[in-house]
Amino acid sequence: MGALVGEYTYSMSTSSTTRDGGELQGLAGSRVNVWLVDDCPNIHEHLGRNLNVDSSLTCSRQFPSALHLLAALQLPPAPDVILMDVNMPGMSGIEALPHIKKLAPATPVLLISTFWDPVHRQQAVAAGASGLYTKADPVAQLVAAIHAASKFPVAPVLMPPPLSPFARLRQLIFGS
């Protein structure tokens, strides 16, 4: 599968058929088209693969920066949902939100970060984020958030409660 300059490529199949040749059907009869934006190739590999396992989603494009995403949004169609990192070189996910809202106003943007502090939470919400998640959140939680955002793009921000520093440390060490 070829890719435009600035997009990550990955070797997994993004076929839209099942093993028996039938069409994959997601919510409302079609797959939710997700674009992933993160400067870390490991995140692309992990999230891209896991999102494509869900038969109702397709992670069709992946970008290493907000600037590459903005260039791609110049040409329609926009994705159903954008899943984007906050801290990236060049332009942060929060800084990119107003530009995304101009180019694809109906596309909800879910932001992911290693951790969320109150200042970044407030900035993300003010800039128009549809949801705020950590990279440590279970993939099933991100999948559920993507489905919710695709159904209700103007819903209130989807955001799990912040963890205390001790709870976050426990989560990072023990994974739960």
pLDDT digits (tens, 9 = 90+) for 138-167: 888 899 999 999 987 665 555 555 555 666
* Mean local confidence (pLDDT), 15-27: 33
Say which CATH number the domain at 95 has.
3.40.50.2300
Beta bridge partners of residue 133, listed in sequence order: 112
Is 10 inside a domain boundary? no
52 has a pLDDT exceeding 50: yes
119 found inside a domain: yes
pLDDT of 21 > 50? The answer is no
Count CB atoms within 10 A of the CB of residue 6: 13
And the tokens for 132? Answer: 């705020």
Identify whether 7 is part of a domain: no
Q: What residues make up the domain containing 68?
A: 27-174
pLDDT, tens only, 68-77:
999 999 998 9
**Number of domains, the chain:** 1
For the entire predicted model, the pTM comes to 0.74
Calculate mean pLDDT across residues 91-111: 95
**Residue 84 predicted with pLDDT over 90:** yes
Any domain includes 14 = no
The residue with tokens 């997601």 is: 26
Q: Are 34 and 80 in contact (CB under 8 A)?
A: yes
Phi then psi dihedrals of residue 20, to 5 deg: -90, 5
Return d(Cα 91, Cα 96) in angstroms, integer.
6
Angle between helices 93-103 and 118-127 (to 10 degrees): 10
Q: Report whether pLDDT(24) > 60.
A: no
Tell me whether residue 71 is in a domain.
yes
Domain assignment present for 6: no
> How high is the mean pLDDT of the chain?
77
Q: How many CB atoms lie within 10 A of CB 52?
A: 19
First to last CA, the chain: 36
| pLDDT given for residue 105 in this prediction | 93
- Tell whether 5 is covered by a domain: no
Question: Is 141 within the bounds of a domain?
Answer: yes
